[in-house]
Amino acid sequence: MKTIFIKELPGIGALVLFLAAGAAAQGDIDLENDDDRIAYSMGANIGQNLIEQQILDGINLDSFIVGLQDAVAGTVKLSNEELFSAIQMYQQRAQETAQATLADNLAASEEFFRQNAGREGVVSLDSGLQYLILTSGPADGASPSVDEAVLAHYHGTLTDGTVFDSSVDRGEPAQFGLSQVISGWTEALQLMKVGDKWRLFIPPAMAYGTSSPTPAIPPNSALIFDVELLEIR
């Protein structure tokens, strides 16, 4: 499990400050004390999970903290029916927002591919995949088949240039089977030869679609990868 530190998620800092403010009213916490450290860690872990799941997006943190404190104290001011109704309202709003985001992202991706198709050197395939040859390896170089594995360097960004993953930045190429990656990679790598370096433009349907594996890649995002095929294994 990945350890997420508070400084990596600015929203958590705000949440922790609210919690700390409530605790400070009853006495300062001492993180050198085992009991305080345990309690603080539990609170921070809950906050991290809420942020990761984007549950607090658009939520008034003042009211959220009051509700949390009232629940702990047994002084909840709403009936169970009222609580359920409010949660349903939140879920409906979240669903509507998510659907709007999906539609907006897909439209932006489609527009990107329309414009990108006219750029010099860009090749558009029937599948929707586009690529640009950056460097060509030996003409007699081998191409991998779908049941083979390869060693490759890659640098992945969103269309705005935001980097979400990069073996180049890590300084270590990645090994993987062609059947184990997104379909955009599977198709492109079978067209490449060892020594080739291509820039791949992958539409959402050939990447992660509506189900992104990480918040770093919004759903329905077009992805750009610079891929260098090093070896077939």
Catalytic residues: 154, 164-165, 182, 208, 225
Q: What is the rounded CA–CA span in Å between residue 9 and residue 5? A: 7
Q: What is the rounded CA–CA span in Å between residue 9 and residue 4? A: 8
Q: What is the rounded CA–CA span in Å between residue 177 and residue 198? A: 18
Q: What is the rounded CA–CA span in Å between residue 90 and residue 113? A: 35
Q: What is the rounded CA–CA span in Å between residue 143 and residue 180? A: 17
Contact 129, 202 (CB under 8 A): yes
Find residue 156's DSSP bridge partners: 165, 225
